[in-house]
Amino acid sequence: MSFHFEAQDLKNLDVVPTLSGVIERIAATKEHAGQIFLILSELVSNALDHGLLRMDSSLKTSNDGFAAYAARRQNALKELQEGFIDIGIEILRRDNRKMVKISVRDSGPGFNWTARSRMSDSGLHGRGIELVRRLSHEVLYAGAGNEVVVYYELNPLNRAIGDKRNHSFMQ
């Protein structure tokens, strides 16, 4: 299944809850549905905040920064005139495992993922993508850094922190 959200849609819809029915249908259990919801929430939030709204996460370096970030985000979203986010969700078998493939692409400029991977995740920002990595079987970046594909394993439910995962760029 694929979904295309234009700027006007993104201003008026909370995208991930809108897709919650799809998530519930493809997930084998409530635990899977919750984890897929978290993954999709983080990916869509990143696409909107950083891709389309061009928000800078460094604003979130303090508790006061979170409030400033939220206020700027709200204003930027009101002013958003163009751009899109494409979301793809499909069930497939990969490496003899049942997977959900989630792809999110935005019309923003992207980012240099290789430089980002060398940065520390110890700050108050950057934790969301780390959560996605821990919940996912594989995370791949493509294009100019404005596309991400995540493979989530539906069976078994074994998302222990520290599991070995693959994280790379699509070629």
Domain that holds residue 35: 2-169
What pTM was computed for the model? 0.83
pLDDT digits (tens, 9 = 90+) for 82-105: 999 999 999 999 888 899 999 999
Phi, psi of 55 (to 5 degrees): -75, 145
Query: Whole-angstrom Cα distance, residue 143 to residue 151?
Result: 17
Residue from 136, 149, 147, 151 nearest 50 by CA: 147
Q: What is the pLDDT of residues 3-22, one digit of tens each?
A: 999 999 999 999 999 998 88
Q: What CATH number is associated with residue 164?
A: 3.30.565.10
**How many domains in the chain?**
1
pLDDT digits (tens, 9 = 90+) for 119-169: 544 555 567 889 999 999 999 999 888 999 999 999 765 554 444 455 554
The residue whose two tokens read 């990969």 is 94
